[in-house]
Structure 1
Amino acid sequence: MKAIIMAGGFGTRLRPLTINIPKPMVPVANLPMMEHVVNLLRLHGFDDIVSLLFFQAEVIKNHFKDGRRFGVKMDYLQPDQDYGTAGAVRYAADFCDETVMVISGDVLTDFDLASAFRFHKEKEGDATILLTRLENPLAYGIVITDADDRITRFMEKPSWGEMFSDTINTGVYILEPATVRMIPPKTNFDFSQNLYPIMLQKNMKLLGRITEGYWRDIGNIEEYSEAHRDILAGRVRLAFGAEKLTQDDAVIYKQPGAEIADGVVFGQTVLLGQKCRIGAGAKIANSIIGDGVVVGEDVQINDAVIWSDTVVDARATIDSAIVTSRVQVGRKASILDKAVVADDCRIGAGATIKANVKVWPGKIVDDGAIVSSSIVWGEKWNRELFTDSKVSGLGLTELTPEMAVKLGAAFGASLGRKQRILTSRDASDASRLLKRSMMCGLMATGVDIDDLEILPTPVLRRALRHGSYAAGIYIRHNPSDYNVVDIIFFDGSGLDLPTAKSKKVERSFINEDYPRASMAETGHLEEQERLFDTYRDDFLETIDQEAVRDARFRIVIDYSYGSAGQFFPEITSALDIDVLGVNAYPNPARAAQHAGAIGEKIHQLGTIVTSLSADLGVIINPSAEKMIVIDEHGRQIDDQLLLLMGLDLYLRTHAAKRIAVPVDASMGVEKIAAGYGVEVKRVRNDHLAMMDAHIRGGADFVGGTRGGFIFPNFQIGSDAMYAIANFLEMMAKTNARLGDLRPLFSNYIRKNVSVPCPWGKKGQVMRTLIMSTEDKERQLIDGVRVFEETGWVLVAPDRLTASFGILAEADSESTVDKIIKQYADLVEQSQD
């Protein structure tokens, strides 16, 4: 039978283990991960194998050659670029002239592949995904199957709110030739994000088989260590090819040629590699010792993994650490909890490598030195670089100027030479320094830059949307923590940078793969001083200026020390709005504020509004994307009420067909929209989903539940400045005041409670919730939203705590209490 091994992984999150070898060749129990996969395939009758290679392909070819040594026939294909998981398999279409097993070369599993293959054939599937259940499924694609084992719902790497099951896609697939041919050739195409959704849409036979046995995706250092603990505990079936010895309660697996001196004490389970030598008096517990390793006298090794040809001198200690190949560990040296020492390092006598430290290949640690922070090549980044479209870190400590240069170069390389981008920032010196550092890297790769200096984020976003730019970058201090700097990336349309593109930048950054431009191709820098003028002019053209001017509004704006205080007054002045601005000068050090400080600002602003008889007050957040509104009576309008008021005013003054709101928005939205015959689309409660509701969903108005509004006639994302002007225009046209509208939308009762739930039970609870509400009207957008009696309930796992949040809304308090109790009981019972 035929199999394809996906062996192109970079192993970025496993660095420094994967500096010198590709991820599939990282040793697990003294054999490369991929060799375990080959052994499993052969065991179940898959002996005709093609390996799809990409990164450091020669290392894999040199090890497996034609496969005969491993009892299989091995061929290789290397796509000319990264086509994604499915795109890579399409590259092997000629090989797929019969049903084929597809498996990753960097997983550890003992699944019964032959049984799964028979299942696929008996069910006559177009494709079968092997499934398993995990306590925390967030890093994987989650799946629901029906009684006939057909997959009915699929989502790749959900958030906690999107998680509807604890059953995950293991990345092991059985595919028919016709299914492989559905994949477009030489196109970036993913199984989970592209092929399988198409198959579901076409009602093809996409099957899921919950498979018994062990499975672990070894994606990071912690998973790597846990895999070895599982191996030593016997949780996974692996053949060690070793003599089994016992010493008291300890079990020792001794591979050929291993030598054990007198007086060695073993604990728990230990694997000794070929031709290793263990010195007298050594104490080794629950550890893997690689081939050719020399362990000196009285050495103590506990819960450790040591690769081949490393020497550990007398009386050294390695505790819960990983030491890779050809390392010299000096006499009395200590390598402590979760530390990693990579290839060809020399750790001096008496030196200490402290917990969590990573030492990159080839480093020398002096005798007696104490290493408490990682020693890397330059300023390497030791975790995932991007969070969504942002790179965040401690300013000038984690996000250093040197790192920013490299990040700029990596981003520039992903764009290509002579592309033009926009850059902007907040008012801090640190942001300016990091922006200029990034500019150096960008220009060195041939990217031209139009720099906007200090501007609010919405100005940059709109300039991208309506300009001819390849991308944009905005640098700011994090609104919640002044010490953290955010580098935010946008695509050429002003949207947040998609994950596929951020991953490409991350790979270039980690691998330092960013070719420099020639002298003639060096990027050009130009300062654009008039883009705000364009923003202002376009802004005013889309507002009914006469209506706003005639209303003679008086308002109070707290600019939260953001850059909007420098620019928005030009617009309000043009509209003849009488504005008292407070905290209107840029000061990033004072912009980041905790909830208590914001509460005090709301109280102070309410006092100012009433004392001046103002029409309203607004607190704009530092990036000028969201707002908190105070009515003319000095009372805060909470976000839900503000959404209902804004929607009502919008539909009174605009012709709309479709509007979008987050899943947790009040049911008053539908009641208001129904009066105007307008369709309501509910989306996830995040900014990207709100933008997508307009871009792909065609929404005419997008209202958030966190003070953000999108008016698509002008802006692609939330823009507090434009929202203020729109609210004033709508109030002028309807002769309405927000305080007068409050009683119209205050008859909805909302309550929320938190129900404790261990992290490991959340997927199980979500699966039970899905099954128990199948016969009810519901929405599966961000949690489970179920319609009950005269209200609804939203049940979702909390992202930060071991609990579930339950939010209910109805027209009476008794109904809300009844709904909350019903679902709180269900969450508690589902944990059993």
Structure 2
Amino acid sequence: MSKNKELLKKDDIVQAVLIADDFSEEFDLVTKNTPFVLLPLVNKPILDYTLEFLASGGVDETFIFCCTHSDAIKEYISNAKKTAIWANVMDVHILISESCTSLGDCLRDIYAKGVIRGNFVLVEPGVISNMKLLPILQEHIATLKKDKGATMTLVMQETGLEQNGLCSMEETLIVTNDTKQVLLHRRLANYEENKIKLPLEMFLEHAEVKIWYNPRDTHISICGPNVLPLFADNFDYQTRWDFIRGIMMVDEVDDSTIYCHVLSDGQMGAAITSWDMYQSISWEVIAGWFYPITFKTQAPITFGKSIVKGEKCLVSSTATLVNCILGDNVKIGEDVSLKNSIVFSNVKVDQASEIYNCIIGKDSILSSKSKLKNKIYCDSQEVDRVPLPKICADPFDGFETSDSEDESYTTSPVPDDTKMFFSEVMDSLERGIEDKLQCHNLILEINSSRYAYNVSLKEVNYFVCKAILSLPFQLQDGSQYLQALSRCLAYFSPILKNYIRDDDSMNDCLQAVQDVAIANNELSSCIVKVLNWLYDKDFLSEDVISSWFSNLDNSVSIYSKVVPFVKWLQEAEEETSDDEDD
């Protein structure tokens, strides 16, 4: 038993309430015959992610509240209990009420049933997380002892400016004090004024005030015993936001308080509240942000172009796929262009079709030369998918190679981001070679770090190559630099192959070789051997090496050392040309 579990009373059972319906029209087109929580997220039902999170977080008993498609959910849970890991550690019950039309109605019905015995975890639909629930629950219980009016602890995710995976409709400003009590909670999406005034008393009455701009709402809340009675007494509380606003603004409940816990240290939480969030979270799952909560795939990921395939997929060799997730039994015809899209199971896309930034529902058939852009398509119907402003629009943007991407190697939106990215890549590679980790797992870590620090593809190529060249200096195995570097190059060849794919990435690699060699005599003395190895393994081409050398300053220390190698390349090329002429 964990230390946090021991802190709870022996007769306390950690309970959770999971609302299965989203009560919006966002997903109506694809949920006519399928429950929202059973929609696939990277080829695994959303419900699986949520239950796995709750079980691993220490929840003993979960109540799934269904308003629609209850039979499908009951059947799924019944079958999953035979094999699911969560079934061994957590009891799952299903509550049904077809008359409920909001989260508030569901909670009032649960209160009437009397199944919740105290504090509980409220989980809204579409949640995925790897957070440790028990410490947050224990923190909430400790707060209740000090503040009898404490009702709810909101769980938020710390984020960076303009980070992907944020919904502009949930843009929020939260102010807390040193006890994490929420002093102000303001939704900014529909806020009419362009300024928010913070009372001076807020700063005078509290020793510490923290202002959180736009943390990601995980849609997970730790609720006290008084939450359900408050919903029961206030029928105008239809959503959790209604509840928060009521507690924060209405005088009649001014003895009640709300607290906020902000996740950090690798703990993640998110909820699928829109198609844009669905697509963003899909990429975060692929990148490993929610590890150890992860997806299942029968086919390997094509890392270079971010493609995940389900079982029994048939893709034509002439089709172009970039940043795509394919469900089971998907058939992609000849000359199809499929980019930034998610395709559910049993879909057929006929030849010469062009699909961009779309969600294609289950069992759909797209005839030849179909053209869809920014659409949700299902049952021969389509609706426009209007991208949300800025951060939620096209969450895959920035992960696709662009010919126009000409950022410098050290340019980044935040000055220290590239340094932090380089440091994390170094840590991943060092751990990878010492623990003999598979390179495809390391690529996931690198892509995850790229996403976290918002670095460009050019910077990723450069710093990955620089890290491999620099790693021998950190390996304390007593070997000489060249010997250690040879080991690194051989071991990390799959990583180099993943990132060095065209002339631009070759130039990024050569820039890294040049910079490390100029700064370190160890590489400078063996630079020709390194260049020859990269050339021999087809990571560098003759033309790119020659072009790089022609722009190399002849005053730098490595220039004279590289001259014989470049001359040999040129002579070999001339001899090859002569042989072809003969």
Structure 1 residue runs of 5 or longer lacking an equivalent are 252-266, 346-357, 361-373, 375-381, 385-759, 762-832
Matches within 5 A, 1:83-482: 84-93=102-111, 94-124=114-144, 126-133=151-158, 138-139=169-170, 142-156=173-187, 158-159=190-191, 161=193, 164=196, 166-167=213-214, 169-184=217-232, 187-190=235-238, 191-194=240-243, 197-198=246-247, 201-212=253-264, 213-237=267-291, 238-242=293-297, 245=300, 250-251=302-303, 267-331=304-368, 333-343=369-379, 345=380, 359=382
User: Which of these residues, 88, 91, 94, is aligned with residue 73 of structure 1?
Assistant: 91
SS of the residue aligned with 2:156? strand
Would you say the 8 A contact 1:142–1:163 is kept in 2?
no
Amino acid at match of 1:27: P
Task: Return the offset for 1:236.
Answer: 4.2
Amino acid at match of 1:272: K
Matches within 5 A, 1:479-518: none
Q: Deviations over 1:86-132 (max 9, x none)?
A: 44223223221132111112234443333422332343354211123
- What is the distance in 2 between the residues matched to 1:274 and 1:122? 48
User: Which of these residues, 25, 29, 50, is aligned with residue 12 of structure 1?
Assistant: 25
Amino acid at match of 1:145: T
- What is the distance in 2 between the residues matched to 1:243 and 1:83? 38
Matches within 5 A, 1:564-603: none
Higher helix share: 2
Would you say the 8 A contact 1:83–1:187 is kept in 2?
no
- What is the distance in 2 between the residues matched to 1:140 and 1:88? 25
- What is the distance in 1 between the residues matched to 2:131 and 2:345? 28
Would you say the 8 A contact 2:153–2:260 is kept in 1?
yes
Judging changes above 3 Å, is the alpha-carbon distance between structure 1 residues 208 and 162 closer, same or farther for their aligned structure 2 residues?
farther
Number of the residue aligned with 1:62: 75
Task: Return the offset for 1:341.
Answer: 1.8
- What is the distance in 2 between the residues matched to 1:244 and 1:67? 22
Task: Return the offset for 1:160.
Answer: 5.4
Judging changes above 3 Å, is the alpha-carbon distance between structure 1 residues 173 and 242 closer, same or farther for their aligned structure 2 residues?
same
Amino acid at match of 1:151: V
- What is the distance in 2 between the residues matched to 1:102 and 1:95? 14
Amino acid at match of 1:242: T
Matches within 5 A, 1:532-571: none
Amino acid at match of 1:96: I
Would you say the 8 A contact 2:236–2:242 is kept in 1?
no
Would you say the 8 A contact 2:172–2:213 is kept in 1?
no
Task: Return the offset for 1:176.
Answer: 2.3
Judging changes above 3 Å, is the alpha-carbon distance between structure 1 residues 192 and 359 closer, same or farther for their aligned structure 2 residues?
closer
Judging changes above 3 Å, is the alpha-carbon distance between structure 1 residues 18 and 335 closer, same or farther for their aligned structure 2 residues?
farther
SS of the residue aligned with 2:30? coil
Q: Return 222-231 or 194-203, whichever deviates more.
A: 194-203
Amino acid at match of 1:286: N
Task: Return the offset for 1:271.
Answer: 1.4
- What is the distance in 1 between the residues matched to 2:285 and 2:363? 24
Would you say the 8 A contact 2:298–2:311 is kept in 1?
no
Structure 2 residue runs of 5 or longer lacking an equivalent are 1-13, 145-149, 162-166, 197-211, 388-412, 415-582
- What is the distance in 1 between the residues matched to 2:155 and 2:92? 23
SS of the residue aligned with 1:29? coil
Judging changes above 3 Å, is the alpha-carbon distance between structure 1 residues 324 and 143 closer, same or farther for their aligned structure 2 residues?
same
Higher strand share: 1
Task: Return the offset for 1:28.
Answer: 1.7
Task: Return the offset for 1:19.
Answer: 3.6
- Between the two proteins, the alignment pairs up a number of residues equal to 334
- What is the distance in 1 between the residues matched to 2:386 and 2:366? 26
Amino acid at match of 1:29: V
- What is the distance in 2 between the residues matched to 1:210 and 1:217? 15
Amino acid at match of 1:189: Y
- What is the distance in 1 between the residues matched to 2:314 and 2:154? 44
- What is the distance in 1 between the residues matched to 2:157 and 2:28? 27
Task: Return the offset for 1:342.
Answer: 0.6
Q: Return 231-240 or 87-96, whichever deviates more.
A: 231-240
User: Which of these residues, 22, 44, 47, is aligned with residue 34 of structure 1?
Assistant: 47
Would you say the 8 A contact 1:84–1:189 is kept in 2?
no
- What is the distance in 2 between the residues matched to 1:221 and 1:298? 27
Number of the residue aligned with 2:496: none
Q: Deviations over 1:646-689 (max 9, x none)?
A: xxxxxxxxxxxxxxxxxxxxxxxxxxxxxxxxxxxxxxxxxxxx
- What is the distance in 2 between the residues matched to 1:181 and 1:305? 42
Task: Return the offset for 1:185.
Answer: 6.2
Amino acid at match of 2:156: L
Amino acid at match of 1:159: Y
Judging changes above 3 Å, is the alpha-carbon distance between structure 1 residues 113 and 275 closer, same or farther for their aligned structure 2 residues?
farther
Judging changes above 3 Å, is the alpha-carbon distance between structure 1 residues 225 and 126 closer, same or farther for their aligned structure 2 residues?
closer
Would you say the 8 A contact 2:124–2:219 is kept in 1?
yes
Amino acid at match of 2:47: M
Would you say the 8 A contact 1:87–1:186 is kept in 2?
no
Task: Return the offset for 1:225.
Answer: 2.8
SS of the residue aligned with 1:180? helix
Would you say the 8 A contact 2:53–2:128 is kept in 1?
no
Matches within 5 A, 1:683-698: none
Would you say the 8 A contact 1:127–1:175 is kept in 2?
yes
- What is the distance in 2 between the residues matched to 1:188 and 1:216? 26
Would you say the 8 A contact 1:126–1:205 is kept in 2?
yes
Number of the residue aligned with 1:802: none
Number of the residue aligned with 1:642: none
Number of the residue aligned with 2:445: none
Would you say the 8 A contact 1:138–1:160 is kept in 2?
no
Number of the residue aligned with 2:443: none
Q: Return 111-120 or 98-107, whichever deviates more.
A: 111-120
Would you say the 8 A contact 1:145–1:152 is kept in 2?
yes
Task: Return the offset for 1:216.
Answer: 4.0
Number of the residue aligned with 2:64: 51
Amino acid at match of 2:331: V
SS of the residue aligned with 2:305? strand
SS of the residue aligned with 1:31? coil
Amino acid at match of 1:312: V
Judging changes above 3 Å, is the alpha-carbon distance between structure 1 residues 322 and 195 closer, same or farther for their aligned structure 2 residues?
closer
Task: Return the offset for 1:20.
Answer: 3.2
- What is the distance in 1 between the residues matched to 2:81 and 2:234? 31
SS of the residue aligned with 2:76? helix
- What is the distance in 2 between the residues matched to 1:329 and 1:137? 32
Judging changes above 3 Å, is the alpha-carbon distance between structure 1 residues 181 and 10 closer, same or farther for their aligned structure 2 residues?
closer
Amino acid at match of 2:18: I
- What is the distance in 1 between the residues matched to 2:285 and 2:371? 22
Judging changes above 3 Å, is the alpha-carbon distance between structure 1 residues 325 and 88 closer, same or farther for their aligned structure 2 residues?
same
Number of the residue aligned with 1:497: none
Would you say the 8 A contact 2:50–2:127 is kept in 1?
yes
- What is the distance in 1 between the residues matched to 2:139 and 2:371? 48
Please tell me whether Structure 1 or Structure 2 has the larger radius of gyration of its CA atoms: 1
CA RMSD of aligned residues (A): 3.5
